[in-house]
Structure 1
């Protein structure tokens, strides 16, 4: 009978009278729906302290209406429509004020719960509860484009509900009202009822729509008496799964399925306190990308601390990440770069592509604020160590593209100051410059064997150029373009024969690299 009687009234801020009329019309529909309820079955549920909203759920009356009114109003509707004795409903209304907990929803649909400080909070209206949720969200998240609402409930709710559903099916299945009008096969769950009760108010309060979103609001309800999900099955429990309607539940010695249908209350797990509710919010990572230049030979790419001692003056990761994080009001950050250079290697020229992954950002930065942050980083005292450029906001696909580019499409250009054990000749310059797409086999270098697998890797040297240095016959500037992942230092000195060919083997002499700079990293993304 649910969907025939429902639509959630739209709130029209420009015409409050129209909104009141809409609510009044919906209340009439609700009263009409309740009139079809079997009074004796409703009375039994009320007697056993089942809350009004769960009564409506059990009989498939849509929560879009009753979520708008207080329990007192709900019970007055039930009293009027089902002609119950006034004392029955008034007695239960009074008991509910004293925080009696519904044995099915454990207070979830009564909007009664313990918060993280273990304080008991009780809200009459769904809108009041939605206000509490919205205020918690707004404390940290000023800007969201949409949201997804998630709810997690303890298993005792499903178990107790299955007891009542089984009982009612057994007791009332032979009655005409049951056969003609009711089906317990598609009862709306407490989880879905709660979502639909507050979702409209949340949309209004947060000013955005609910949809499949990167921003998630999660309400987690836990009950101290519900250990099914936390503890392994003990000797007093069984793993037998039984089907009640369309609900699968676990059977324990506390919840007996079947038995005497005259008293389902004795089969329910007893509760005397509402659940503890924890509200958490999470935002999908925000990615800000750009290119960095490392101007110092004493700055590592990422934090480098050994035995509580920092190596180098600073790190690229910290200089960039710790300035961007406050701008996004995030919980933390991760630094990703397209490859890496040694601490004593400068990164010049076009810069190396990087991404800062901001976790659970409370603020989504605009392109203008990102550019302002770029200027700020470049004006800091550390700007003589690290600078940034081309910073912009990227989607998660930016991370994928950068990884693909690093592995497959990237080329790097270097400038190296090299010393050899003999004088450089003109023939050497011509011979080196004529080599194109030279294949080099590199066994994992000795200096990184402690952190990389011992493998043979084939890399390509696309081109090389030698520039003589005036006044020195054994020093020259080597410029080269290589495939990503090539070990340049080892390509120069040969690494005791582990890299072949090398500059030393090609020239037939000993070769050493004195200084190395990365001058260009070519990729398809993160360019101006």
Structure 2
């Protein structure tokens, strides 16, 4: 069946080539266009592209190519290296690699094998593929110059009018058409919308074409998207307008020497997000890495403990740590923990549910047990938005060890417990004015209660439930009047906070307990 299909495709190729106008094909061959570009310009594409090695031979036989030089566009188009003057070798699978070595793969399957090896060495595991191609603008400009030349010579012929009506295929789409199938076979996946991307970036050192008066040709710089496949430029629209002047055509010149494009192949995956909750038991561990004047603040950070543990599991390049709010370095995070997302950049593999459970155990067993995590799981790309939306509505519960300048009385307990949804105005605290804007924020203390401590009349535990973003330390001592009312103003005496713990973070999102 495979041989039969190949024979049918070769017969189709022969029919397509025989249908092309010989004189125009001769001109294009003289212009050093590769067979792929010739077929593109005539709107021919399909399975015939997979037989690239046969096209050139059959084309010469059918058309009986005999170069001529009566077109002003042909006089300066010498190209001794055999590189196409339009696609710069892209559709010939010729390129310059990162070592500045000329690479000539000759066919789509060999070129696809090159990409496959790069993806395999990088260790990517994927169940689908997204192929992206970027080409230099000069390729479009050269193509437009050739099409203008064809219009000058053949605009009155019927085949030219038919060509204008055919669907135009760009260099990048022709390349995708050629290599997608062999690449799918090698990788064992299907192409389409995918988190795994193979990006081919072609660049050229060649400058834009010059007209006779020395001005750059900027035609074709604006594009309009037509359908899913075609890109039609302003110059192509210009080709269809019979009343336009042809005088400019004589001023175009293709480059005298064509150099192959440099190619960069980048295999990458879109970020994945690992969500969970963390608990922090040390008063000397910051949430994120904290360095001031090259000196570390604290003995570690939640970000580093969690990130450096999970990153190797996903075989990613780097990570970013996002949390639903933050606590000061000297504040413990207890209770159900604080929701967080770990963004893994360019992951090579997606961790399983079992591997994440094992990672929880590993982190929670680290020496010192400064930090623990729970409920680790992979969340979708909307996780960041959901966490931020949930953060705005969350409530936080605290337990604070407080000192009062007088003896604590029973009426103080009644006064505090009776306050519900207490509104405060908080100006930016003195301790953070050096890094935050001086603003006034309205916050709410939803509820409070006092727990006496046996053997002491001036120390007690204060339990609070507050709106997200409330400065608790400043609410207790007043911050020189910058927070009002404060616990001190309510009790009518001086109060100081000695220790503070977050005991719960309640929020309605995907990380809810």
Query: Fold match, TM over 0.5?
Result: yes
Distance 1:67 1:127 in 2: 11
> How far is the alpha carbon of 1:176 from its aligned partner?
4.3
CA positional deviation for 1:243: 9.7
SS of residue matched to 1:387: strand
User: Residues 38-187 of structure 1: matches in 2 within 5 Å?
Assistant: 38-62=21-45, 64-71=46-53, 73-84=54-65, 99-179=81-161, 181-183=162-164, 186-187=167-168
Name the CA distance, whole Å, in 2 between partners of 1:523 and 1:243: 50
Q: What aligned pairs does 1:411-490 form with structure 2 within 5 A after superposition? A: 411-490=395-474
8 Å contact from structure 1 (residues 442, 500) kept in 2:
yes
1:195 — aligned with what? 176
Maintained 8 Å contact 2:9/2:48:
no
1:216 deviates by 2.2
1:393 maps onto 2:378 in alignment: yes
8 Å contact kept, 2:141–2:218: no
8 Å CA contact 2:208–2:216 kept in 1: the answer is: no
Paired residue secondary structure (1:68): helix
**Which residue of the partner structure matches residue 516 of structure 1?**
500
Deviations 1:476-525 (A, max 9, x none): 01111111111110111011111111111111100000000001001123
Matched positions, count: 483
Contact 2:424–2:444 under 8 Å retained in 1: yes
1:493 is aligned to 2:477: yes
Indicate which of 204, 222, 225 corresponds to 2:206. 225
8 Å Cα contact 1:442-1:457 kept in structure 2:
yes
Q: 1:312 to 1:61 in 2, by over 3 A?
A: same
| TM-score for both structures, normalised by structure 2 | 0.89
SS of the equivalent of 2:43 reads coil
In the superposition, relative to structure 1, how do residues 130 and 40 fare at CA in structure 2: closer, same or farther (>3 Å)? Answer: same
* CA root-mean-square deviation: 2.6
Q: What is the deviation of 1:441?
A: 1.4
Task: For 1:139 and 1:472, locate their aligned partners in 2 and report how far apart those are by CA, in whole Å.
Answer: 67
Q: Secondary structure at the match of 1:34?
A: helix
Superposition pairs for residues 349-388 of structure 1, below 5 Å?
Answer: 349-382=335-368, 384-388=369-373
* Residue-by-residue CA offset, 1:143-183 (whole Å, 9 max, x unaligned): 2232221111111111111111111111012234434x432
Structure 1 residue 330 and structure 2 residue 316: aligned? yes
Structure 2 unaligned residues grouped into runs of 5+: 68-77, 223-230, 237-244
**Cα distance change on mapping 1:311 and 1:227 into 2, 3 Å:** farther
Aligned pairs for 1:294-333 (under 5 A) are 294-333=280-319
> What residue in structure 2 maps to residue 11 of structure 1?
none
Change in Cα spacing, 1:155 to 1:243, as seen in structure 2 (3 Å) is closer
> Which residue number corresponds to residue 239 of structure 2?
none
Residue by residue, what CA displacement relative to the aligned partner does 1:82-112 show, whole Å, maximum 9, x if unpaired?
A: 35579xxxxxxxxx99841110110001000
Matched-pair contact (CA < 8 Å) for 1:155–1:226: no
